[in-house]
Amino acid sequence: MPAADALVLFGVTGDLARKMILPALYRLTERGELSVPVIGVARTDWDSDALRKHVGESVRAALPDVDDVVLERLQRAVHVVAGDYGDPTTFDRLATTLREQAGAEAFVVHYLAVPPGLFGTVADALAAVGLNAHARLVVEKPFGHDLASARALNAQLRRNFDDDRLFRVDHYLGQEPVEDLLVLRFANTVIEPLWNRTWIDHIDITMAEDFDVADRGSFYDAVGTVRDVVQNHLLQVLAYLTMEAPQSDSAEDQRDAKHRLLQAVRAVDPAEVVRGQYTGYRDVPGVAADSTTETYVALTLHIDDDRFTGVPVHIRAGKALPETVLDLVVVLRSPPRPLFHGAVQDPPPNRIRLRLQPDAGVTFYLLAKQPGSGDIATELPVSVDFREVLGPVHAAYERIFADALTGNPAHFARMDTLEEAWRVVEPILDPGTAPLPYAPGTWGPT
Ligand code: BG6
Protein backbone atom coordinates (compact mmCIF):
# COMPACT_ATOMS: atom_id res chain seq x y z
CA MET A 1 0.00 0.00 0.00
CA PRO A 2 1.64 3.27 -1.06
CA ALA A 3 1.95 5.98 1.58
CA ALA A 4 0.56 9.43 0.88
CA ASP A 5 2.63 12.24 -0.63
CA ALA A 6 -0.31 14.63 -0.26
CA LEU A 7 -3.64 14.74 1.56
CA VAL A 8 -6.68 16.32 -0.08
CA LEU A 9 -9.45 17.14 2.34
CA PHE A 10 -12.86 17.78 0.80
CA GLY A 11 -15.19 19.59 3.20
CA VAL A 12 -12.37 21.33 5.04
CA THR A 13 -14.66 24.15 6.23
CA GLY A 14 -17.30 21.75 7.61
CA ASP A 15 -18.21 20.75 11.15
CA LEU A 16 -16.46 17.39 11.11
CA ALA A 17 -13.21 19.01 9.98
CA ARG A 18 -13.45 21.72 12.63
CA LYS A 19 -14.29 19.43 15.54
CA MET A 20 -12.48 16.20 14.72
CA ILE A 21 -10.29 16.18 11.63
CA LEU A 22 -8.17 19.32 12.02
CA PRO A 23 -7.37 18.56 15.69
CA ALA A 24 -6.43 15.03 14.62
CA LEU A 25 -4.13 16.40 11.91
CA TYR A 26 -2.49 18.61 14.56
CA ARG A 27 -1.76 15.55 16.71
CA LEU A 28 -0.32 13.67 13.74
CA THR A 29 1.89 16.68 12.94
CA GLU A 30 3.01 16.75 16.57
CA ARG A 31 4.01 13.08 16.42
CA GLY A 32 5.76 13.46 13.06
CA GLU A 33 3.16 11.28 11.32
CA LEU A 34 1.96 14.04 8.99
CA SER A 35 4.49 15.99 7.00
CA VAL A 36 2.89 16.07 3.53
CA PRO A 37 0.99 18.99 1.97
CA VAL A 38 -2.69 19.20 2.97
CA ILE A 39 -4.96 20.63 0.28
CA GLY A 40 -8.35 21.70 1.62
CA VAL A 41 -11.18 21.83 -0.91
CA ALA A 42 -14.43 23.63 -0.12
CA ARG A 43 -17.18 25.77 -1.54
CA THR A 44 -15.85 28.98 -0.04
CA ASP A 45 -14.18 32.21 -1.06
CA TRP A 46 -11.29 31.67 1.34
CA ASP A 47 -7.67 31.93 0.29
CA SER A 48 -4.96 29.77 1.88
CA ASP A 49 -4.30 32.33 4.63
CA ALA A 50 -7.97 32.31 5.63
CA LEU A 51 -7.90 28.51 5.78
CA ARG A 52 -4.72 28.58 7.89
CA LYS A 53 -6.47 30.92 10.32
CA HIS A 54 -9.43 28.52 10.44
CA VAL A 55 -7.07 25.63 11.12
CA GLY A 56 -5.53 27.55 14.02
CA GLU A 57 -8.90 28.45 15.53
CA SER A 58 -10.29 24.93 15.17
CA VAL A 59 -7.24 23.29 16.72
CA ARG A 60 -7.11 25.74 19.65
CA ALA A 61 -10.84 25.35 20.29
CA ALA A 62 -10.56 21.56 20.41
CA LEU A 63 -7.25 20.95 22.22
CA PRO A 64 -5.99 22.32 25.53
CA ASP A 65 -2.25 21.99 24.94
CA VAL A 66 -1.40 23.50 21.56
CA ASP A 67 2.26 24.13 20.79
CA ASP A 68 2.66 27.18 18.50
CA VAL A 69 5.58 25.65 16.62
CA VAL A 70 3.65 22.47 15.79
CA LEU A 71 0.56 24.41 14.80
CA GLU A 72 2.57 26.66 12.49
CA ARG A 73 4.08 23.57 10.88
CA LEU A 74 0.60 22.27 10.12
CA GLN A 75 -0.61 25.67 8.95
CA ARG A 76 2.35 26.01 6.55
CA ALA A 77 1.41 22.64 5.01
CA VAL A 78 -2.16 23.78 4.29
CA HIS A 79 -3.38 25.17 0.95
CA VAL A 80 -6.89 25.87 -0.26
CA VAL A 81 -8.69 25.09 -3.50
CA ALA A 82 -12.01 26.91 -3.44
CA GLY A 83 -14.82 25.96 -5.77
CA ASP A 84 -17.98 24.03 -6.39
CA TYR A 85 -17.76 20.23 -6.50
CA GLY A 86 -19.97 20.20 -9.59
CA ASP A 87 -17.61 22.55 -11.48
CA PRO A 88 -14.85 20.74 -13.45
CA THR A 89 -12.52 23.76 -13.16
CA THR A 90 -12.35 23.17 -9.37
CA PHE A 91 -10.66 19.86 -10.13
CA ASP A 92 -8.35 21.40 -12.75
CA ARG A 93 -7.18 23.82 -10.07
CA LEU A 94 -6.81 20.98 -7.59
CA ALA A 95 -4.60 19.09 -10.07
CA THR A 96 -2.45 22.20 -10.57
CA THR A 97 -2.10 22.80 -6.82
CA LEU A 98 -1.16 19.16 -6.24
CA ARG A 99 1.51 19.32 -8.96
CA GLU A 100 2.94 22.50 -7.43
CA GLN A 101 2.89 21.27 -3.83
CA ALA A 102 3.67 17.57 -4.17
CA GLY A 103 4.95 16.97 -7.70
CA ALA A 104 3.44 15.18 -10.69
CA GLU A 105 4.18 11.68 -9.36
CA ALA A 106 2.64 12.20 -5.91
CA PHE A 107 0.46 9.46 -4.42
CA VAL A 108 -2.62 11.30 -3.16
CA VAL A 109 -5.11 10.46 -0.41
CA HIS A 110 -8.48 12.10 -1.08
CA TYR A 111 -10.63 12.32 2.05
CA LEU A 112 -14.33 13.08 1.50
CA ALA A 113 -15.86 14.76 4.56
CA VAL A 114 -18.80 15.99 2.49
CA PRO A 115 -22.51 15.09 2.38
CA PRO A 116 -22.83 11.51 1.07
CA GLY A 117 -24.85 12.69 -1.93
CA LEU A 118 -21.60 14.20 -3.24
CA PHE A 119 -19.34 11.13 -2.90
CA GLY A 120 -20.02 9.93 -6.45
CA THR A 121 -19.84 13.41 -7.98
CA VAL A 122 -16.44 14.09 -6.42
CA ALA A 123 -15.05 10.65 -7.32
CA ASP A 124 -16.12 11.06 -10.97
CA ALA A 125 -14.71 14.58 -11.12
CA LEU A 126 -11.37 13.40 -9.69
CA ALA A 127 -11.21 10.69 -12.34
CA ALA A 128 -12.03 13.18 -15.11
CA VAL A 129 -8.73 14.99 -14.40
CA GLY A 130 -6.75 11.80 -13.75
CA LEU A 131 -6.56 12.27 -9.98
CA ASN A 132 -7.80 8.73 -9.34
CA ALA A 133 -4.86 6.97 -10.99
CA HIS A 134 -2.31 7.35 -8.27
CA ALA A 135 -4.59 7.78 -5.30
CA ARG A 136 -6.68 6.38 -2.49
CA LEU A 137 -10.26 7.53 -1.81
CA VAL A 138 -11.52 7.73 1.77
CA VAL A 139 -15.26 8.31 2.27
CA GLU A 140 -17.04 9.25 5.47
CA LYS A 141 -20.20 7.55 6.67
CA PRO A 142 -23.04 7.04 5.98
CA PHE A 143 -22.22 4.62 3.16
CA GLY A 144 -25.62 4.36 1.48
CA HIS A 145 -29.15 4.79 2.79
CA ASP A 146 -30.06 1.11 2.53
CA LEU A 147 -28.61 -2.03 0.95
CA ALA A 148 -29.48 -1.09 -2.63
CA SER A 149 -28.11 2.45 -2.43
CA ALA A 150 -24.94 1.25 -0.68
CA ARG A 151 -24.35 -1.18 -3.54
CA ALA A 152 -25.06 1.52 -6.13
CA LEU A 153 -22.66 3.92 -4.41
CA ASN A 154 -20.00 1.26 -4.25
CA ALA A 155 -20.43 0.48 -7.94
CA GLN A 156 -20.10 4.16 -8.78
CA LEU A 157 -16.92 4.60 -6.73
CA ARG A 158 -15.46 1.34 -8.05
CA ARG A 159 -15.66 2.71 -11.62
CA ASN A 160 -12.69 4.90 -10.74
CA PHE A 161 -11.05 3.30 -7.68
CA ASP A 162 -10.08 -0.33 -7.10
CA ASP A 163 -11.45 -1.89 -3.95
CA ASP A 164 -8.08 -1.81 -2.17
CA ARG A 165 -7.87 1.92 -2.92
CA LEU A 166 -11.30 2.60 -1.41
CA PHE A 167 -11.44 3.15 2.37
CA ARG A 168 -14.90 3.41 3.98
CA VAL A 169 -14.81 5.23 7.31
CA ASP A 170 -16.57 4.03 10.44
CA HIS A 171 -14.75 5.99 13.11
CA TYR A 172 -15.68 3.39 15.76
CA LEU A 173 -13.20 1.08 14.06
CA GLY A 174 -10.56 3.66 14.95
CA GLN A 175 -11.47 3.68 18.63
CA GLU A 176 -8.89 1.95 20.79
CA PRO A 177 -11.48 0.58 23.26
CA VAL A 178 -13.42 -1.08 20.42
CA GLU A 179 -10.30 -2.81 19.13
CA ASP A 180 -9.37 -3.67 22.72
CA LEU A 181 -12.37 -6.00 22.79
CA LEU A 182 -10.36 -8.46 20.72
CA VAL A 183 -7.42 -8.35 23.11
CA LEU A 184 -9.66 -8.71 26.14
CA ARG A 185 -11.38 -11.70 24.61
CA PHE A 186 -8.59 -13.55 22.89
CA ALA A 187 -5.60 -12.77 25.11
CA ASN A 188 -7.36 -13.65 28.39
CA THR A 189 -8.13 -17.23 29.28
CA VAL A 190 -10.19 -15.89 32.18
CA ILE A 191 -12.70 -14.56 29.61
CA GLU A 192 -12.61 -16.49 26.35
CA PRO A 193 -13.77 -19.95 27.58
CA LEU A 194 -16.91 -18.30 29.00
CA TRP A 195 -17.72 -16.48 25.77
CA ASN A 196 -20.43 -18.71 24.35
CA ARG A 197 -23.99 -19.98 24.73
CA THR A 198 -22.99 -22.41 27.47
CA TRP A 199 -22.09 -19.63 29.91
CA ILE A 200 -23.70 -16.45 28.56
CA ASP A 201 -27.42 -15.86 29.09
CA HIS A 202 -27.77 -12.58 27.20
CA ILE A 203 -25.92 -9.42 26.24
CA ASP A 204 -27.07 -5.81 26.71
CA ILE A 205 -25.46 -3.08 24.62
CA THR A 206 -26.20 0.54 25.49
CA MET A 207 -25.09 3.54 23.48
CA ALA A 208 -26.62 6.53 25.20
CA GLU A 209 -25.97 10.20 24.47
CA ASP A 210 -27.05 12.94 26.84
CA PHE A 211 -27.22 15.53 24.02
CA ASP A 212 -29.90 16.00 21.39
CA VAL A 213 -29.56 16.45 17.62
CA ALA A 214 -28.63 20.13 18.16
CA ASP A 215 -27.99 21.83 14.79
CA ARG A 216 -27.95 18.54 12.82
CA GLY A 217 -31.73 18.45 12.30
CA SER A 218 -31.81 18.14 8.52
CA PHE A 219 -29.07 15.47 8.48
CA TYR A 220 -30.58 13.50 11.33
CA ASP A 221 -34.19 13.62 10.15
CA ALA A 222 -33.27 11.78 6.96
CA VAL A 223 -31.32 9.19 8.92
CA GLY A 224 -32.56 8.32 12.43
CA THR A 225 -30.86 6.24 15.11
CA VAL A 226 -30.82 2.94 13.23
CA ARG A 227 -28.91 4.37 10.26
CA ASP A 228 -26.87 6.82 12.32
CA VAL A 229 -25.30 4.46 14.84
CA VAL A 230 -26.78 0.93 14.73
CA GLN A 231 -26.11 -0.12 11.12
CA ASN A 232 -22.50 0.96 11.41
CA HIS A 233 -20.96 1.64 14.83
CA LEU A 234 -22.96 -0.79 16.95
CA LEU A 235 -22.91 -3.71 14.52
CA GLN A 236 -19.14 -3.32 14.22
CA VAL A 237 -18.89 -3.35 18.02
CA LEU A 238 -21.15 -6.42 18.12
CA ALA A 239 -18.87 -8.16 15.64
CA TYR A 240 -15.77 -7.55 17.78
CA LEU A 241 -17.70 -8.69 20.84
CA THR A 242 -19.01 -11.94 19.42
CA MET A 243 -16.95 -13.06 16.42
CA GLU A 244 -14.72 -16.13 16.34
CA ALA A 245 -10.98 -15.64 16.76
CA PRO A 246 -9.45 -14.39 13.52
CA GLN A 247 -6.84 -16.62 11.91
CA SER A 248 -4.18 -13.97 12.64
CA ASP A 249 -4.10 -10.33 13.63
CA SER A 250 -3.83 -9.22 10.00
CA ALA A 251 -6.38 -6.71 8.77
CA GLU A 252 -7.92 -9.15 6.29
CA ASP A 253 -8.24 -12.01 8.78
CA GLN A 254 -9.95 -9.71 11.26
CA ARG A 255 -12.28 -8.43 8.56
CA ASP A 256 -13.03 -12.01 7.47
CA ALA A 257 -13.99 -12.96 11.03
CA LYS A 258 -16.23 -9.91 11.38
CA HIS A 259 -17.88 -10.65 8.06
CA ARG A 260 -18.63 -14.25 9.07
CA LEU A 261 -20.19 -13.05 12.31
CA LEU A 262 -22.43 -10.51 10.61
CA GLN A 263 -23.50 -13.15 8.11
CA ALA A 264 -24.84 -15.10 11.09
CA VAL A 265 -26.87 -12.21 12.49
CA ARG A 266 -30.55 -12.60 11.65
CA ALA A 267 -32.34 -9.64 10.03
CA VAL A 268 -34.13 -7.70 12.78
CA ASP A 269 -37.75 -8.68 13.38
CA PRO A 270 -39.86 -5.49 13.53
CA ALA A 271 -41.83 -7.13 16.37
CA GLU A 272 -38.66 -6.97 18.50
CA VAL A 273 -38.11 -3.24 18.11
CA VAL A 274 -39.16 -0.22 20.14
CA ARG A 275 -38.70 3.17 18.48
CA GLY A 276 -38.79 6.46 20.36
CA GLN A 277 -38.66 10.16 19.59
CA TYR A 278 -37.88 12.75 22.25
CA THR A 279 -40.46 15.47 22.74
CA GLY A 280 -39.35 18.70 21.15
CA TYR A 281 -37.48 16.93 18.32
CA ARG A 282 -40.03 18.09 15.73
CA ASP A 283 -39.30 21.73 16.63
CA VAL A 284 -35.62 21.40 15.69
CA PRO A 285 -34.75 23.40 12.54
CA GLY A 286 -34.50 21.03 9.57
CA VAL A 287 -36.83 18.42 11.12
CA ALA A 288 -40.23 17.82 9.48
CA ALA A 289 -43.19 18.93 11.60
CA ASP A 290 -44.71 15.44 11.25
CA SER A 291 -41.41 13.53 11.36
CA THR A 292 -41.56 9.83 12.21
CA THR A 293 -37.76 9.54 12.46
CA GLU A 294 -36.58 7.73 15.59
CA THR A 295 -34.14 9.37 18.00
CA TYR A 296 -34.11 6.20 20.15
CA VAL A 297 -34.26 2.54 19.35
CA ALA A 298 -34.21 -0.66 21.38
CA LEU A 299 -34.04 -3.96 19.57
CA THR A 300 -33.09 -7.60 19.94
CA LEU A 301 -30.59 -9.36 17.72
CA HIS A 302 -30.09 -13.10 17.27
CA ILE A 303 -26.85 -14.68 16.14
CA ASP A 304 -27.39 -17.98 14.36
CA ASP A 305 -23.98 -19.58 14.82
CA ASP A 306 -22.58 -22.37 16.99
CA ARG A 307 -21.22 -19.99 19.59
CA PHE A 308 -24.20 -17.72 20.24
CA THR A 309 -27.40 -19.42 19.08
CA GLY A 310 -30.08 -18.76 21.71
CA VAL A 311 -28.26 -15.83 23.33
CA PRO A 312 -30.28 -12.66 22.70
CA VAL A 313 -28.38 -9.43 22.24
CA HIS A 314 -30.34 -6.34 23.28
CA ILE A 315 -29.23 -3.06 21.79
CA ARG A 316 -30.49 0.35 22.81
CA ALA A 317 -29.26 3.66 21.49
CA GLY A 318 -30.55 7.17 21.54
CA LYS A 319 -30.18 10.91 21.89
CA ALA A 320 -31.30 13.09 24.81
CA LEU A 321 -30.88 10.26 27.32
CA PRO A 322 -29.67 10.77 30.92
CA GLU A 323 -25.96 10.13 30.26
CA THR A 324 -23.35 9.56 27.58
CA VAL A 325 -22.13 6.02 27.81
CA LEU A 326 -21.29 3.05 25.64
CA ASP A 327 -21.19 -0.19 27.51
CA LEU A 328 -21.62 -3.84 26.84
CA VAL A 329 -22.97 -5.95 29.66
CA VAL A 330 -22.52 -9.69 29.35
CA VAL A 331 -24.87 -11.52 31.73
CA LEU A 332 -23.69 -15.02 32.58
CA ARG A 333 -25.88 -17.97 33.46
CA SER A 334 -26.54 -18.66 37.12
CA PRO A 335 -24.79 -21.64 38.78
CA PRO A 336 -26.64 -24.95 38.24
CA ARG A 337 -27.98 -25.11 41.85
CA PRO A 338 -28.98 -22.20 44.08
CA LEU A 339 -26.72 -23.32 46.95
CA PHE A 340 -26.45 -19.87 48.50
CA HIS A 341 -29.15 -17.28 48.98
CA GLY A 342 -29.13 -13.54 49.33
CA ALA A 343 -30.59 -11.84 52.36
CA VAL A 344 -33.55 -10.63 50.37
CA GLN A 345 -33.64 -12.45 47.07
CA ASP A 346 -31.78 -15.05 45.04
CA PRO A 347 -28.27 -13.89 44.16
CA PRO A 348 -28.02 -12.22 40.76
CA PRO A 349 -26.01 -13.87 37.98
CA ASN A 350 -22.44 -12.72 37.38
CA ARG A 351 -22.08 -9.88 34.93
CA ILE A 352 -19.11 -8.59 33.00
CA ARG A 353 -19.37 -4.98 31.96
CA LEU A 354 -17.10 -3.84 29.15
CA ARG A 355 -17.06 -0.06 29.17
CA LEU A 356 -16.02 1.67 25.97
CA GLN A 357 -17.07 5.25 26.76
CA PRO A 358 -16.53 7.60 28.45
CA ASP A 359 -14.03 5.76 30.68
CA ALA A 360 -12.88 2.59 28.96
CA GLY A 361 -12.43 -0.34 31.29
CA VAL A 362 -13.92 -3.56 32.52
CA THR A 363 -15.90 -4.44 35.62
CA PHE A 364 -16.56 -7.97 36.88
CA TYR A 365 -19.50 -8.17 39.27
CA LEU A 366 -18.68 -10.91 41.75
CA LEU A 367 -20.66 -12.36 44.64
CA ALA A 368 -19.15 -12.73 48.11
CA LYS A 369 -20.32 -13.71 51.57
CA GLN A 370 -21.58 -10.98 53.85
CA PRO A 371 -19.24 -11.10 56.87
CA GLY A 372 -20.96 -12.44 59.96
CA SER A 373 -23.83 -14.11 58.16
CA GLY A 374 -24.35 -16.95 55.72
CA ASP A 375 -25.92 -14.67 53.17
CA ILE A 376 -24.43 -13.62 49.89
CA ALA A 377 -23.83 -9.89 49.81
CA THR A 378 -24.88 -7.70 46.92
CA GLU A 379 -22.65 -7.69 43.85
CA LEU A 380 -19.07 -6.55 44.38
CA PRO A 381 -17.66 -4.63 41.42
CA VAL A 382 -14.05 -5.54 40.59
CA SER A 383 -13.09 -2.84 38.20
CA VAL A 384 -10.19 -1.51 36.17
CA ASP A 385 -10.08 1.82 34.37
CA PHE A 386 -7.77 1.49 31.37
CA ARG A 387 -6.93 5.19 31.12
CA GLU A 388 -5.91 5.35 34.76
CA VAL A 389 -3.72 2.29 34.49
CA LEU A 390 -2.47 2.39 30.91
CA GLY A 391 -2.60 6.10 30.06
CA PRO A 392 -4.52 8.07 27.45
CA VAL A 393 -5.28 6.72 23.99
CA HIS A 394 -5.16 8.34 20.58
CA ALA A 395 -8.49 9.73 19.37
CA ALA A 396 -10.33 7.71 16.73
CA TYR A 397 -9.77 10.29 14.00
CA GLU A 398 -6.03 10.34 14.66
CA ARG A 399 -5.89 6.61 13.99
CA ILE A 400 -8.23 6.88 10.99
CA PHE A 401 -6.03 9.53 9.37
CA ALA A 402 -2.77 7.82 10.28
CA ASP A 403 -4.05 4.67 8.56
CA ALA A 404 -5.50 6.55 5.59
CA LEU A 405 -2.09 8.16 5.03
CA THR A 406 -0.05 4.97 5.33
CA GLY A 407 -2.62 2.75 3.60
CA ASN A 408 -3.54 0.39 6.44
CA PRO A 409 -7.11 -0.86 5.81
CA ALA A 410 -7.59 -2.45 9.27
CA HIS A 411 -9.78 0.32 10.69
CA PHE A 412 -12.06 0.76 7.69
CA ALA A 413 -15.25 -1.09 6.80
CA ARG A 414 -15.11 -3.72 4.08
CA MET A 415 -17.96 -3.72 1.58
CA ASP A 416 -19.17 -7.26 2.27
CA THR A 417 -19.48 -6.46 6.00
CA LEU A 418 -21.27 -3.22 5.25
CA GLU A 419 -23.74 -5.10 3.04
CA GLU A 420 -24.47 -7.62 5.81
CA ALA A 421 -25.07 -4.76 8.24
CA TRP A 422 -27.59 -3.18 5.87
CA ARG A 423 -29.29 -6.56 5.44
CA VAL A 424 -29.66 -6.88 9.22
CA VAL A 425 -31.40 -3.52 9.69
CA GLU A 426 -33.29 -3.41 6.38
CA PRO A 427 -36.67 -4.65 7.80
CA ILE A 428 -36.80 -1.80 10.32
CA LEU A 429 -35.81 1.15 8.14
CA ASP A 430 -38.55 3.74 7.64
CA PRO A 431 -41.55 1.84 9.07
CA GLY A 432 -43.63 4.98 8.55
CA THR A 433 -45.28 4.64 11.96
CA ALA A 434 -44.93 7.23 14.70
CA PRO A 435 -42.27 6.42 17.30
CA LEU A 436 -43.26 6.50 20.97
CA PRO A 437 -42.59 9.85 22.67
CA TYR A 438 -40.15 10.19 25.57
CA ALA A 439 -39.09 13.15 27.64
CA PRO A 440 -35.51 14.38 27.09
CA GLY A 441 -33.28 13.22 29.91
CA THR A 442 -35.15 9.94 30.45
CA TRP A 443 -34.22 6.42 29.33
CA GLY A 444 -36.62 6.42 26.35
CA PRO A 445 -40.09 4.91 26.07
CA THR A 446 -41.10 2.15 28.47
C1 BG6 B 1 -21.63 9.73 14.59
C2 BG6 B 1 -23.10 10.01 14.61
O3 BG6 B 1 -21.30 8.85 13.54
O4 BG6 B 1 -21.24 9.14 15.82
C5 BG6 B 1 -23.45 10.90 15.79
O6 BG6 B 1 -23.49 10.65 13.40
C7 BG6 B 1 -22.95 10.28 17.08
O8 BG6 B 1 -24.86 11.12 15.87
C9 BG6 B 1 -21.46 9.96 16.94
O10 BG6 B 1 -23.15 11.22 18.12
C11 BG6 B 1 -20.92 9.24 18.16
O12 BG6 B 1 -19.54 9.16 18.05
P13 BG6 B 1 -18.63 9.24 19.34
O14 BG6 B 1 -17.25 9.00 18.83
O15 BG6 B 1 -18.84 10.61 19.92
O16 BG6 B 1 -19.14 8.18 20.26
Residues in the chain: 446
- Of ligand 1's atoms, which has the minimum distance to the CA of residue 232? 3
Residue 444: the pLDDT is 97
Residue 93 phi/psi, 5-degree rounding, is: -70, -35
Q: How many beta carbons lie within 10 A of that of residue 153, not counting itself? A: 22
Atom of ligand 1 nearest to the CA of 219: 6
pLDDT value, residue 446: 85
Over the stretch 77-98, which tens digit does the pLDDT of each residue have?
A: 999 999 999 999 999 999 999 9
Which residue owns the Cα nearest ligand 1 atom 6? 228
Examine the pLDDT at 133 and tell me if it is beyond 80.
yes
Average pLDDT over residues 213-238: 96
Confirm or reject: Cβ of 228 under 6 Å from ligand 1. yes
What whole-number percentage of the chain has pLDDT above 90?
A: 92
Instruction: From the CA of 172, give the closest atom in ligand 1.
Output: 14
**Does 347 have pLDDT greater than 90?**
no
Given 233, 259, 302, 314, the catalytic residue: 233
Span 18-58, pLDDT tens digits: 999 999 999 999 999 999 999 999 999 999 999 999 999 99
What pTM was computed for the model? 0.96
Q: How far is the CA of 422 from the centre of ligand 1 (A)?
A: 18
Residue 278 identity (one-letter amino acid): Y
Residue 342 scores a pLDDT above 70? no
The CA distance from 313 to 130, in Å, is: 47
User: What residues does 436 pair with on adjacent strands?
Assistant: 276
Give catalytic status of residue 233 as yes or no.
yes
Task: Give 190-219 pLDDT, tens digit per residue.
Answer: 999 999 999 999 999 999 999 999 999 999
The residue to mutate among 169, 230, 233, 394, having the most atoms of ligand 1 within 8 angstroms of its beta carbon, is 233
Alpha carbon of 321 to ligand 1 centroid (Å): 14
113-118 contacts at long range (C-beta below 8 A, 24 or more positions apart): 113/9, 113/10, 113/11, 113/12, 113/14, 113/16, 113/17, 113/21, 113/140, 114/10, 114/11, 114/14, 114/85, 114/140, 115/219, 116/140, 116/141, 116/142, 116/143, 116/144, 116/145, 116/153, 118/10, 118/85
Average pLDDT, the chain: 95
> Residue 370 — pLDDT band, cuts 50, 70, 90?
confident
Tens-place pLDDT, residues 239-289 = 999 999 999 989 999 999 999 999 999 999 999 999 999 999 999 999 999
Judge if the beta carbon of residue 209 lies within 6 A of ligand 1. yes
Dihedral (CA of 229, 235, 241, 245) sign:
negative
Which of the four pLDDT bands, split at 50, 70 and 90, describes residue 371?
A: confident
- Listing DSSP states for 203-223 in one string gives EEEEEE-SS--TT-HHHHHTT
